[in-house]
Structure 1
């Protein structure tokens, strides 16, 4: 088994006033040669956006983009004609493919929006862009893994992504344990603690810490407190 410990305090940080952003991997003005990507996982941004502000229309291509609101409401519009909003319990997936434009903003004036935005390198380049969003029951991730994202065309229950990648969330009660089986022998898992404290494959992690795990078949989680954890199961070479 091979592991890489990513401390929350070692993330890149940029406070723009309207946007307070933490970068798990090199992004924008933050560059760390040891934190460019974990396998096919390229970006994990932990963003807080003040009321009424956001990102205007901007382009993406050949990237799989997954957005997970943690609190508040995210308003979205794109060049494919999709307009709407997502909140905690919902997930948004975009396959940028040959190219899209989209905007994102905090729908509310009176409260902040907290979200995770995650980019994964695609399996196939220059596909037709696609968009999806779905609401998931938060209760269905209590002490069990809830699949949010899975490969396009697979039989898994997650939203389709153009990569052999799976995203799962689990809310573990204090002192509970869970074992996650990595989907493919060629994949690794990036385990990101959203809230709480847990021991993952022998490493103690706190809030916003992460552990990159590869060359093994399973991830063993022991919750030290009530804990919310995101697992990103991705190819280590692509």
Structure 2
């Protein structure tokens, strides 16, 4: 059965000049006392940052963090010595492990992005950072992230895949099936229909029992698809991803 996560469930830890909508994927189950994560998929921070914002150097421990920018440019600097602009088509994955420090700032315009937090399989793994250039406005699914033994361009230390697609209004997309994994589909922008449901901006949908039916874009839509091992072993000690 399809289950929807509506916007009324989200938190807003910051509102201005950094606006963050904090999506806790486990809220889709609407069960008191349940973990806020969806397996090892812990947090999706949907952020809008204004010109001039600087988030000072700060530490993450035991977080796997994908930075996915849809609009604008944020400038990254970290304790590994890397400095890079992160923009649409430029992915960054921080494997924080035992300790990783970074900062970011917005020099011009505004930035809209997702920071996606995944719980690693164990604590205090070796820290590191990865970058990948990808197409920007593809209508087919693009695999961005996968486990260490996968062919994905970026790797997390966990049994999770992350894909994106940018469907035009009226287009229908099939949802890829990953054996043994459970889908969680997030609408970053736009609106879709799936089965009898409408899913809009900052909403999500899952099905714990059946493969997803195709989705149809009502408007031009950016979709982020997670395929998650709900029974994966994981660290609960992440700075953001933990409990």
| TM-score using structure 2 length | 0.85
CA gap of 1:105–1:34, structure 2 versus 1, over 3 A, is farther
User: 1:64-106 deviations in whole A, cap 9, x for unaligned?
Assistant: 1001011111111111111111101211101111111111221
> Residue 133 of structure 2: which of 132, 135, 144 is its match?
135
Stretches (4+) displaced over 6 A: none
Q: Distance in 2 between matches of 1:55 and 1:222?
A: 37
For residues 182 and 52 of structure 2, the distance between their equivalents in structure 1, rounded to whole angstroms, comes to: 38
Q: Does the aligned pair in 2 maintain the 1:63–1:95 contact within 8 Å? A: yes
2:200 to 197, 200, 206: 206
Question: Cα RMSD between the aligned structures?
Answer: 2.0
Aligned to 1:87: 87
The residue that corresponds to 2:122 in the other structure is: 124
Structure 2 regions of 5+ residues with no counterpart?
A: 26-31, 233-243
Cα distance in structure 2, aligned partners of 1:219 and 1:76: 38
Taking a change above 3 Å as real, the CA distance of residues 197 and 176 of structure 1, as seen in their structure-2 partners, is same
Partner of 1:25: 24
Confirm whether residue 195 of structure 1 aligns to residue 183 of structure 2: no
For residues 198-217 of structure 1, give each alpha carbon's deviation from its aligned partner in whole angstroms, at most 9, with x where no partner exists. 11244211122111332334
Shift of 1:182: 2.8
Alignment CA distance shift 1:151-1:201 (3 Å)? farther
Q: What is the TM-score when the length of structure 1 is the normalising length?
A: 0.87
Q: Which of the numbers 171, 176, 183 marks the counterpart of 1:176?
A: 171
Alpha-carbon distance in structure 2 between the residues aligned to 1:129 and 1:182: 31
Q: CA shift at 1:37, angstroms?
A: 1.0
1:13 match: 12
Cα distance between partner residues in 2 of 1:51 and 1:116: 17
- Residue 97 of structure 1 corresponds to which residue in structure 2? 97
Structure 2 equivalent of residue 29 of structure 1 = none
- Is 1:148–1:168's contact at 8 Å kept on the other side of the alignment? yes
Partner of 1:42: 42
Q: 2:195 & 2:83 partners in 1: Cα distance?
A: 41
